[in-house]
């Protein structure tokens, strides 16, 4: 439904505001980007690569781009992001020693790039922000040359399961009905994504799924961390101040009681790593 579509203007604003402090709050995102680069480009693959034309979608401050540049000698790397603030940080982090980097302000769902322009498209923890992932993947296929590679990591169904359960439990105790937009659009599963890739003409996807946990002193610290990295829900529409306050307090109490181990509150990230190749024909 349209009401569940991610508001990209607000999303870009959230990330731009968080950009100067982003890398102080994204240990797990850095880990995923590093793992993606290591998995997709082991030494045996690097030895056989020419100097590819690369595109990163949702580059943020340049974490994945930096990992890729450490491993691959590329002809050019286009780093694209929806957030101007993130691109400013990426410029500081990447441009000084990487003259082949070009920064582009654009929505990864509407790529303003030429057909067949890239040998490689990469992305880490960005696709979960797309309103129509299959449409976005079709756009990525368009800008890849035949035989080009797509490598990405994204969050899938099961991510933040504790937060959703805690909110629903708190709402039930208060007799509140939560709007569907409270949690944003539903995330797909890994099988749904690989089915999309097959329909679009990508061949033989290699898939790895992992469950990762992030730990915090309390649920309140977890929520602050989400906001600090700009990943708070852009579709959030609060109820009255008194209702929101009561709901939040009940939710955090339930969260800390139910989802805690060794004195720390945890949050689940369900991550899928995928690499696939564009076939010559659709």
> Does 180 score more than 80 pLDDT?
no
Reference 272, options 23, 79, 36, 30; nearest CA is 36
DSSP helix/strand/coil, 6: coil
pLDDT reported for residue 90: 93
pLDDT reported for residue 97: 67
pLDDT reported for residue 280: 72
Residue 96: pLDDT band with limits 50, 70, 90 = low
Span 53-61, mean pLDDT?
Answer: 96
* Predicted TM-score of the model (pTM): 0.92
Residues whose CB falls within 8 Å of the CB of residue 266, separated by 6 or more in sequence, listed in order: 162, 213, 214, 215, 216, 259, 260
Q: Mean pLDDT across the chain, nearest whole number?
A: 92
Reference 229, options 37, 27, 4, 92; nearest CA is 27
Residue 3: pLDDT band with limits 50, 70, 90 = low
Which pair of structure tokens corresponds to residue 187?
């995330």
> Does 282 score more than 60 pLDDT?
no
pLDDT reported for residue 1: 44
Domains (range + CATH), the chain? 2-160+185-214+269-278 (3.40.50.150)
In the chain, the N- to C-terminal Cα span, in Å, equals 29
- 50/63 Cα distance (integer angstroms): 22
Torsions phi, psi of 70, nearest 5? -70, -25
Q: Is there a contact between 149 and 120 (Cβ–Cβ < 8 Å)?
A: yes
Bridge partners (DSSP) of residue 78 are 55, 102
Span 261-278, mean pLDDT?
Answer: 97
Which pair of structure tokens corresponds to residue 280?
């010559």
Q: pLDDT digits over 189-201, tens only?
A: 999 999 999 999 9
Which pair of structure tokens corresponds to residue 195?
């089915």
Q: Is there a contact between 199 and 265 (Cβ–Cβ < 8 Å)?
A: no
- Weakest mean pLDDT among 28-37, 111-120, 178-187: 178-187
Which residue has 């299959």 as its token pair?
134
Span 11-24, mean pLDDT?
Answer: 92
Q: Is there a contact between 140 and 57 (Cβ–Cβ < 8 Å)?
A: yes
Q: pLDDT digits over 216-256, tens only?
A: 999 999 999 999 998 888 877 778 889 999 999 999 999 99
Which pair of structure tokens corresponds to residue 75?
């002809």
């Amino acid at each position: 439904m349209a009401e569940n579509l991610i508001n990209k203007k607000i999303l870009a604003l959230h990330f731009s505001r968080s950009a100067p402090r982003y890398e102080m709050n994204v240990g797990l995102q850095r880990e995923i980007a590093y793992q993606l680069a290591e998995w997709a480009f082991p030494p045996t693959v690097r030895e056989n690569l020419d100097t590819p034309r690369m595109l990163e979608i949702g580059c943020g401050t340049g974490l994945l781009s930096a990992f890729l540049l450490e491993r691959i000698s590329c002809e050019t790397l286009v780093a694209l992001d929806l957030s101007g603030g993130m691109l400013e940080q990426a410029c500081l982090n990447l441009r000084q020693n990487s003259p082949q980097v070009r920064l582009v302000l654009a929505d990864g769902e509407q790529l303003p790039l030429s057909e067949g322009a890239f040998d490689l498209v990469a992305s880490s923890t960005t696709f979960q922000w797309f309103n129509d992932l299959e449409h976005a993947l079709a756009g990525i296929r368009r800008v890849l040359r035949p035989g080009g590679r797509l490598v990405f990591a994204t969050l899938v169904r099961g991510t933040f399961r504790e937060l959703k359960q805690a909110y629903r439990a708190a709402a039930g105790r208060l007799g509140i009905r939560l709007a569907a937009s409270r949690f944003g659009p539903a995330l797909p599963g890994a099988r749904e994504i690989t089915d999309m890739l097959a329909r679009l003409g990508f061949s033989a996807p290699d898939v790895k799924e992992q469950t990762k946990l992030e730990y915090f002193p309390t649920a309140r610290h977890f929520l602050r961390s989400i906001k600090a990295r700009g990943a708070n829900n852009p579709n959030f529409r609060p109820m009255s101040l008194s209702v929101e306050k009561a709901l939040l307090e009940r939710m955090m109490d339930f969260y800390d009681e139910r989802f805690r181990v060794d004195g720390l509150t945890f949050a689940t990230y369900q991550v899928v790593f995928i690499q696939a190749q564009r076939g010559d024909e659709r």
